[in-house]
């Protein structure tokens, strides 16, 4: 993933398991595409996945989006939270059901990967490489990404069902 000078390339993971899940994912993509300073480059297929951690809940739909942006990591986080709020996301139960989840996974400039560890944002995302529901859609939008061998880690790609390509 190489960004042009002056821009940052980013991967965002989308997930939803409440309400009209597919409409929420599409709404997030549309909101990203309409945002100042963001250019959507690719959108993955949509995958149906079992919830990981947290309470008993319905299955998720997950996707990934590859963007170029001139936003800082924290500005992109604010945008992600605004998009979630526009879809009535609440944060009452950790890893609980949600109408929409927009996670920043990785950001890179022409100089290399952005590494952050602040109170509200850690980049790269600390658990992304352990989760098939992030890595499989990510591989759709960025086939050359250096991603782990999920099958070797015991997380089978077959745990995900492609819903829409």
Q: What is the DSSP letter of 128?
A: G
Give me the catalytic one of 98, 108, 131, 140. 98
**Catalytic: which of 9, 101, 108, 131?**
101
Which position among 50, 86, 103, 159 bears the catalytic label? Answer: 103
Torsion of Cα atoms, 39 then 40 then 41 then 44, to 10°: 170
Q: How does DSSP classify residue 20?
A: S
Residue 83, SS3 per DSSP: helix
151 catalytic? Reply is no
The answer to whether 103 is a known catalytic residue is yes
What number of H helices and E strands is found in the chain?
Answer: 3, 9
98 catalytic, yes or no?
yes
Q: Which of 9, 89, 108, 131 is catalytic?
A: 89
- Per the annotation, the verdict on 117 as an active-site residue is no
Which residues are annotated as catalytic? Answer: 89, 98, 101, 103
């Amino acid at each position: 993933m190489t960004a042009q000078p002056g821009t940052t390339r980013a991967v965002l993971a989308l997930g939803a398991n409440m309400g009209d899940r597919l409409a929420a994912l599409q709404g997030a993509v549309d909101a990203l595409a309409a945002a100042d300073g963001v250019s959507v480059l690719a959108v993955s297929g949509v995958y149906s996945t079992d919830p990981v951690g947290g309470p008993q809940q319905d299955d998720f739909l997950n996707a990934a989006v590859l963007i170029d942006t001139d936003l800082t990591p924290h500005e992109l986080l604010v945008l992600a939270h605004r998009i979630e709020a526009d879809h009535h996301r609440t944060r009452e139960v950790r890893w609980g059901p949600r109408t929409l989840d927009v996670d920043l996974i990785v950001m890179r400039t022409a100089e290399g990967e952005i590494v952050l560890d602040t109170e509200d944002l850690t980049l790269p995302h600390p658990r992304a490489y352990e989760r098939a529901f992030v890595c499989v859609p990510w591989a759709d939008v960025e086939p050359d990404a250096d991603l782990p061998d999920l099958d070797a880690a015991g997380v089978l790609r077959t745990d995900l069902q492609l819903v829409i390509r």
